[in-house]
Structure 1
């Protein structure tokens, strides 16, 4: 049996599992996942700061200073050594995301996402709803979002064409919520519009970019994906 046949069989089996009856617990699990990964509870007002305990970025935290305001990565590092330490600094966030997703998946979050998000994501991006959590995670962490996407590829849940579209969606405005409130917050006092409007525009443009890439793949590069 060819590898393509095995992949197709695996995808069919997973699709059948996703289409099983979705209970109320699965929807609760999905709701928690969306709140946790989307940044809803990030940078809450002082009175509601305790909600940060349910936020992905807040729970990841940050490394403390070692000397001179630096971290264990140090300053002025170059080449493979600096690259290794930088990669090491990404491990906690990726491990937290993958571990929590495994727990949420056990309670049916992925099945609920498949059922609820497919009607939204399929017409716009042409990807199944199971990719929804990977896209939501990317709003706070590019590394965790990429790790979840790789998991979907390894399990045969998405095609190569889906992967390219998802990557385009994630690449535009990567880590949107986290970066917006961490970097652009210094300019909030100068904004002429409510703070949420630029954020909403950037979020919508991620879909525009993903849809554009989907159109290009379905026209200019159509032959490259005809066997999927």
Structure 2
């Protein structure tokens, strides 16, 4: 009586989950360029700024008397003011999630998983498909957090992954956007190239996340025994 051999191969859908095509790499490059700020200020090619997320998100215009001419009004406090401020963030977050959904459909997360796992797994202990959320956080903290939640809700990452990602995102959140908008006021007083502080802050994001990973694997190890 012959026995039916048990296949040790992964199911077809699981095996093809991370199959990466050339189009997926193109989608990943496009989303990285859009959210990294690379298109924001290109000498001689200002039109590329139209494809940058910061440009697409836009900004509120200036007013003659900012102290009184705001939709919140003078001295806006309490939960109502907080709600109105949060409401102003909704269009940007919706735009970011919509763009990410499009790029995800074309395989950007699969390509990120393939390319970034060899980098992120040894350093932070998280899978490569989290890289898209980390890259997004460089421009939009809200969109980065929303994408992290989406990964967790779909069970692609664990609670430990979320904590490590949170540590990376919380340190210097919206780094590129804030650095070149708010931080640009200090550029004239810098005695070193503008790129150096940016690189240093990016490195420190990894230092903070590595420290949190160390704490989770030692002091708080028992909290994640069931994962």
Q: Same fold (TM over 0.5)?
A: yes
Correspondence for 2:78: 79
Shift of 1:66: 6.0
TM-score (norm 1): 0.89
Aligned to 1:51: 48
Cα 1:73–1:17 shift into 2, 3 Å: farther
Q: Report what 2:209 is aligned to.
A: 210
Q: Using a 3 Å threshold, how does the CA distance of structure 1 residues 154 and 17 change in structure 2: closer, same or farther?
A: farther
1:192 CA displacement: 1.2
Q: Is 1:168 matched up with 2:167? A: yes
Q: Larger relative contact order (C-alpha < 8 A, sep ≥ 6)?
A: 1
Residue segments in structure 1 that go unaligned for 5+ positions in a row: 1-11
Task: Measure how far apart 1:63 and its partner are.
Answer: 2.1
Equivalent residue number for residue 153 of structure 1: 152
Give the deviation of 1:165 after TM superposition.
Answer: 0.3
Residues of 2 paired with 1:72 and 1:87: CA distance? 13
Over 3 Å counting, the alpha-carbon distance change for 1:190 and 1:13 in structure 2 is farther
Q: Secondary structure at the match of 2:182?
A: helix
Instruction: Name structure 2 gaps, 5 residues minimum.
Output: 1-10
- Secondary structure of the equivalent of 1:19? coil
Shift in Å at residue 74 of structure 1? Answer: 3.4
**What is aligned with 1:192?**
191
TM-score by length of 2: 0.89
Q: Give the structure with the larger helix fraction.
A: 1
**Aligned residue pair count:** 215
Matching residue of 1:4: none
Question: Which residue of the partner structure matches residue 32 of structure 1?
Answer: 30
